[in-house]
Structure 1
Amino acid sequence: MLEVLLVTGPLGSGKTTVVNRLLKAELQRGGKVAVLINEFGSVSVDGVLVDAERPELADIANLVNGCACCSLKADVVKVLADWASLPGDRRPDRVVLETTGLADPTDLVDLEEDPALAGIRLAGCLTVISALAPLGHLEQKVLLRRQAGLASLCYVSKADLDPSMALAWESQLRSAFPGHAILRTRMGVAPEGGPDPWSGILPEAPAPAGGPSFAQARALTLRWDHPVDPDALEALFLRPPERGEVLRAKGVCAFQGWPARNDGSDRWAFQLADGRLEISPLPAPASGAPAPLAAVVIGLDLDHASWRQQLRALERPPAGARRKVPLA
C-alpha cells in the first residue's frame, strides 16, 4: 500500500521547507519515500531545492504550469499509479504531494476512489500557514480558508520570526476550526510529541463560498544566462510593482562578485513571501550539473513585458560576454 500525504497552503507559507523535513524524517527511519511537486510556472524551483537537499529519494516528479487539483490531476494520478505498480524493491512506501499555493486541495481528497489508484491510501492533509501573513487573510482569502478547513493537521510556520503573530494565528485557527490539530513550527520542524502527519483523518470539505480568488493569477518565468546584481535584485523585489500585485517570487541565481562556496556551488535560492526576501545557499547537486538560473514571479495583473525587462536588466555578463537575446 502506497501512502500519500498532501501538503498544501498559501504561496510562500513554507511548504517546501516542511516537505524537506518530512522527507528527512522518512529517510532517517529507513523508509523509501518519493515526492511529487506541483508548481505554478514553467520551472520547478521547489523541485531543485528538494533535489539538492534529498538526493537519496526514491523518486522526484515535477508538475509545472498547472494546478494539481484540476488541470494536472490526470498527471498526478498517472505518476502515483506508476509508482504504485513498481516492483517491491523499487516502489516507494510513502509519497509527499506538495500542491501549488494556488491549489484548492478539495479535488485531491478523493484520490483513493480513482480506479487507477487501488493501491494507495491518503494518509492526511497537512496545511502550512505562515505566521507572517496578515491575520485578516483567514476571512478575506477564500482559498486559504478552504486549505485550512480541509486539513487533518495545521502548521503555523515561521513561528520563531514573530512568536506573537504565531500565537494569534493559532488562536484564530482554533476558533475557526475547533476540531483541528494545530502546531507552531520553526524551520519546518514541529514540537516533539505532536500528531503524526501521516495518521490524519480528513474532515469534511468546507462548503464553497464566494469572494476573491486567484483564478486570474499568472506566472512569469525567465531564465538568466549570467550572474545577477544582488543589490539590484533586492531592490526590485522589495519595492511595490508599478502595476498589479506580486503574490510570490522565487528562483535560482548566481550573484556577481560572489565566489563559489566550499562545496563548489555558486548557486543561491531566493524566495519572496510576506514582504520578506530570503536568500539561501543551494548545495551542489549529486549529479554535478548546476541548477539552471531562473526566476519565477507569480502575481495578479502584472505587466509581464516590464517584468521581463527588469529581470533581464539584473544580469551582469562577464567582461567580453554578451547577453543572449531570445527571438520572438
Structure 2
Amino acid sequence: MAIPVYLLTGFLGSGKTTLLKTLLLAVKEQGLKAAVLMNEFGKVSVDTLLLQGTAVPTVDLIEGCVCCTVRGSLTGAMMQLVEEHRPDLIFLEATGVALPLEIVDSLLDPPLKEEVRVAGVYACVDATRFPLQLPPLFEQTPVQQTMVQQVKHADVLLLTKTDLTPPDRRFALEGALRQLNDSSPILRVLNGQVDAKALLDVRHEVARRARPTRVLPRFGAARVKPEVRRQEKTSFGGLQTLHYEFGASVDADRLYEFMYRLPESVARGKGFYRDAENGQMYQFHFTPYAPMTAPAEGEMPAFAVLIGENLAERELLQQLQACEVENTPR
C-alpha cells in the first residue's frame, strides 16, 4: 500500500518544527515508524539538527524550496526514505515559502505516485503575524500570496502563538481565515501541543476530497511569463538567505540586542551559538518582535541563518561578528 505523507506548511517561524516533534511522539506511542523529509531554505538545516535524538530517519533538501528549485530532488529524497526505511508514514516539513498545491502536484509524479499518497496538509498560522486584511490578489506581494495559498489549501489550520495575542485579535484572525478557507477545522496550538490523533486521522476526510492532478503556477501568466518564471527564483518571493558561522563564543546580551534591532526586511532568523559566559550551546530563533533562546540538546555547529528581502549582507555579517567575544575559541 502507498505510504501516507503528511505535509506541514506555514510561513517562516510559524512553529512547524515544534508541531512536528509533537506528532513524532504521538506516532511513536502508536507503535508506528515515521520518517521525515525536511526542506530548508538555507545552507544548513537548523530544524533537522533540532530533531537529533528522536531516532527518526531524516533526509534534507536544502538551499531551495521543495516546490520549485529543488523539486527535481524531491523524488530522489522521498524514494530514499521509502526504499531504505519502509516507514509507516512520512512527514514532509516544507520551507516557509513553499506552496502546498505545488508539492502535492510533485508527489503525483511517477514513480512517487505508486509509492506514496498525500494523507493530510497542515498549515501553521502565526497568530502574531498573519495579516487581518489583505489587498486584492494582484496587489499582493509574493509573500502575501504564499501565506494565502498555504491557508486556502490546508486540510487543517493550526493557530500558533495564541498565548502572545489578545483575544480580540484571535477572534478577528479566525474570521479572516474563514474567508480564505471555510471548510477546514481551525485548531489552536500552544507550545506545539495539539490533538495529534485528530491531525493524523484527517486523512479519512481528505480521501473524500477531490485533489487537483495538476496546479497552476504561483503567479498568473499576466504577471510572469513562463520562461521568465523558470529562470528566476520566484517561488521565494524575493527572499534570500544569509549564513554566518560563528568563529568564537557569543555574548548572549549582544545577540539579543542584535535581534531586537533587526530591520523589518528580516523575516526569520535561527541558529546555534556557544554562550561565552557558561560555555553551553544554545539555539536561537527570531521572528519580528519575538526573539528567543533555549539550551541546545547536545553539541551543535555554531552558525546563524537570516532570511528576508534585500538583506544588507555586509552590515548584518559585521553585526553578527560583533556578537562574538574576542579571544574565545569556538
| TM-score, normalised via structure 1 length | 0.84
Residue 85 of structure 1 and its aligned partner are, at CA, apart by 2.4
Q: How many residues align?
A: 302
Partner of 2:77: 79
Equivalent in 254, 260, 271 of residue 251 of structure 1: 271
Unpaired segments of 5 or more residues in structure 1? 260-265, 285-289, 324-328
From 101, 107, 125, the counterpart of 2:102: 107
1:218 aligns with 2:279: no
Tell me, yes or no, if structure 1 residue 162 matches structure 2 residue 165: yes
- Identify the match of residue 152 of structure 2 among 149, 152, 171: 149
CA RMSD of aligned residues (A): 2.5
Q: Does the Cα contact within 8 Å between 2:65 and 2:235 map onto a contact in 1?
A: no
Secondary structure at 2:293 match in 1: strand
Aligned to 2:86: 91
**1:278-293 mapped onto 2 (5 Å cutoff):** 278-284=292-298, 290-293=299-302
Aligned to 2:320: 311
What pairs with 1:169-248 in structure 2 (closer than 5 Å)? 169-191=173-195, 194-196=198-200, 198-199=202-203, 201=206, 214-241=236-263, 245-248=265-268
Q: Tell me how far apart the structure 1 counterparts of residues 198 and 111 of structure 2 sit (CA, whole Å).
A: 33
Superposition deviation, residue 192 in structure 1: 7.5
Report if the CA contact (8 A) 1:132-1:274 is conserved.
no
Q: Which runs of 5+ in 2 are unaligned?
A: 224-233
Q: Residue 23 of structure 1 aligns with which residue?
A: 24
- Give 1:179's aligned amino acid: S
Matched-pair contact (CA < 8 Å) for 1:222–1:308: yes
Instruction: Give the fraction of aligned pairs with identical amino acids, expressed as a percent.
Output: 31
| Letter paired with 1:314 | C
Return the structure number with greater helix share. Answer: 2
TM-score of the superposed pair, with normalisation by structure 2: 0.84
Change beyond 3 A, Cα 1:168–1:258: farther
Alpha-carbon distance, 1:171 to partner:
2.4
Question: How far apart are residue 280 of structure 1 and its match?
Answer: 1.3
Deviation at 1:227, TM superposition (A): 1.2
Distance in 2 separating the partners of 1:133 and 1:197 = 28
In 2: Cα distance, 1:274 partner to 1:22 partner:
27
Instruction: Name which of structure 1's ranges 135-144 and 202-211 shifts more when overlaid on structure 2.
Output: 202-211
Corresponding position of 1:263: none
Q: Say which is worse superposed, 4-13 or 205-214, in terms of deviation.
A: 205-214
- Indicate the residue corresponding to 1:123 in structure 2: 119
SS at match of 1:252: strand
Deviation at 1:307, TM superposition (A): 1.1
Could you tell me which amino acid in structure 2 is paired with residue 49 of structure 1?
L
Contact preservation (8 Å) 1:36, 1:62:
yes
AA paired with 2:102?
D
Tell whether 2:291 aligns with 1:295: no
Q: Residues 184 and 203 of structure 1: is their aligned pair in 2 closer, same or farther, counting only changes over 3 Å? A: farther
